[in-house]
Every structure is written in structure tokens, then in C-alpha cells.
Amino acid sequence: MEHQDNGTLTVGIPFFAIGVWVIVHVMVDASHVADTAREWIRIPCEVQEATVVPHHGRSGAVSYTVAVVYRYVYEGREYSGDRYSVSRVITHLTSQGEAQSHADRLRARGLCWVNPARPSESALEMSDSTGATAHLIVLFFGLIFCAAGAFLIYRNIQNRRARGAPGNDGE
């Protein structure tokens, strides 16, 4: 029985730790986006390039991102940017047509977000709905890992208590 108890801890603690790490990072990114939204301003810009970029996974699956390049003028000085979103979550689209449609919408965009404290720092979107969905999915998996780890740790504690309780010595 001792071997099984150690197994639940060996799996439970890393699962719980990974879950906490994921949740903290998702919350930090969401907080970063919220802080940025308060400080940055929206100004006119011109999207010069919006290119669909394929990414090939190990399993052979292909996902797509859109690489952008845009120009803007802030306080009389011209800048260029290539950042799509303030969020650190990278949005991968599953179909080339969806990615192309997204690229076409970006080309028509006429506004971008700029950090007034550092005008060279900019993004086309403060946060996008696909990125928000990605945050929720990652947060969900973090919660699942936390719950699974907590359950295994709890089970290990209960097993140890049951073995140490009077009258439960196996005789």
C-alpha cells in the first residue's frame, strides 16, 4: 500500500503544481492586458502586410497564424509595428480560409493601440475573442490539473490517516 501512496503523491504534486503555474500565468496575462488597456491609446494606422503563415505540427496537422506589419504616426514621428495583440497568447486558426479571411479583415483595419510612454510599442488589437477563448481553454486545463492533483494528494492523506487509525492495522 505504501507504494501506491507514493505513486499518488508522485503524480498528485506535479499535477497540482502545473495547474497552479498555468492558472497564475493565464491570470498574469489577463492582468497585463487589462493594465495595458488603461494606459495605451488608439490611433490611426495603415496595415501594410497581413500574411497567412502555416505551422506544421508533429502529427501532421496544420494551423495558421497571421503575420502583420503596419505603420503609424505618433507625435509627428513615424513608427512600424508587427504585433497583433497585446496578449501573450498566440492565436492559431485551424483553416487556411479562416486565416485568410482574418488577414483580409486586418488589412482593412485603420486603428492600432500605442503605448504613449514608449510609442515604438504597439499592437493592432488589445485582445481578440479567439485569444480570450484560448485563455479560457488554458485556464480550464489548469483547473483540471489542479483538481486532479489536489484529489490525489487528498487521497494520499486519507490513506495515511486510515492506516494510522486505531483498529486499522490490517489484523
Per-residue pLDDT tens digits for 24-73: 877 776 666 666 667 889 999 999 988 888 888 888 888 888 888 999 99
Integer Cα distance of 111 and 103 in angstroms: 15
Give 136-162 as a 3 state SS string: HHHHHHHHHHHHHHHHHHHHHHHHHHH
Integer Cα distance of 158 and 72 in angstroms: 62
Integer Cα distance of 2 and 163 in angstroms: 10
For residue 34 the three cell numbers come to: 487589462
Per-residue pLDDT tens digits for 105-134: 877 878 888 999 889 988 887 655 545 666
Distance of CA 34 to the CA centre of its chain: 14
Alpha helices for the chain (secondary structure H):
2-39, 96-107, 129-164
The domain spans of the chain are: 1-39+127-164, 41-125
Put simply, whether the predicted model's pTM sits higher than 0.75 gets the answer no
Integer Cα distance of 30 and 133 in angstroms: 12
Burial class (CB in 10 A: 0-12, 13-18, 19+), 79: middle
